[in-house]
Amino acid sequence: MAPKDEAELQRMVVTGINYTDGPIAMRYPRGNGVGVPLMEEGWEPIPVGKGEILRSGDDVLLVAYGTMVHQSLQVAELLKEHGIEATVINARFVKPLDTELILPLAQRIGKVVTLEEGCLMGGFGSAVAEALMDNDVVVPIKRFGVPDKLVDHAKPDQSKADLGLTSPQIAEQIRQLFFKVAQPSVVA
């Protein structure tokens, strides 16, 4: 499991403490959180394997994991400026993956984008792609994450920019891939 913010991290700690059916792992990144207030009360466990819908739209499905959840909301706002409405899912878990949530939305919307801060090869996006294939949900999918190559050490924001993982970069790639928008021209 991977939290989208500090408050969800609190709930995931409670989830981990209360989980007795086997081992459980939580992924959290280096750096600072997004700045949401910590919870004073309401520290309820999160149902294991259950994601949440944060935003609804009919044009593209953004399925995000961990720190990329808030960024996927920014991507959705950038897409909205171009008339593209996105559904955003906070997956929370890779295993078990919330296929009851993801599969019907993927089938209905017909375009899927995964966003993760981890490795693409064998990562969250691969798990989503496998779930789609295994359940005969044949839709275009684009995965955003860290490619299988050596990545130079840098601050998280710089690494994301170098890898094409900033919100504007992702939104533009989605527009070009799924909505046939011409690539921006370079003025010399």
177 is written with which tokens?
A: 């891939």
Inside any domain, residue 79: yes
Residue 57 lies in a domain: yes
Q: What is the pLDDT of residues 116-131, one digit of tens each?
A: 999 999 999 999 999 9
Is the peptide bond preceding residue 45 cis, with omega within 30 degrees of 0?
no
1, pLDDT greater than 50:
yes
Q: What is the CATH number of the domain that holds 172?
A: 3.40.50.920
Predicted local distance difference test score (pLDDT) of residue 49: 97
| Cβ neighbours for 22, distance < 8 A, ≥ 6 positions apart | none
**What's the total number of domains in the chain?**
1
Buried/exposed 151-162: b ≥16 CB within 10 Å, e otherwise: eeeeeeeeebee
Structural domain includes residue 22: no
**Own/partner pairs for 98-104, CB < 8 Å, 24+ apart?**
98/49, 98/50, 98/51, 99/131, 99/135, 101/50, 101/51, 101/53, 102/51, 102/61, 102/63, 102/128, 102/131, 103/131, 103/132, 103/135, 103/137
Whether 23 is in a domain gets the answer no
Per the domain annotation, does 80 fall within a domain?
A: yes
The position carrying tokens 């939290």 is 3
Reported pTM: 0.92
The answer as to whether 139 is a domain residue is yes
In a domain, 117, yes or no: yes
Question: What is the band of 69 on the pLDDT scale with cuts at 50, 70, 90?
Answer: very high
Whether the predicted pLDDT of 42 surpasses 90:
no
In a domain, 26, yes or no: no
Residue 55 reports pLDDT greater than 50: yes
Edge-to-edge strand ranges of the sheet holding 52-55: 52-55, 86-90, 60-64, 112-119, 141-146
* pLDDT value for 183: 66
Q: What distances in angstroms separate CA 154 from CA 28, 31, 123, 161, one per listed residue?
A: 17, 11, 21, 10
Which three-class secondary structure state does DSSP give residue 13? helix
Q: Write the pLDDT tens digit of every residue in 81-115.
A: 999 999 999 999 999 999 999 999 999 999 999 99
Range of the domain at 124: 48-178
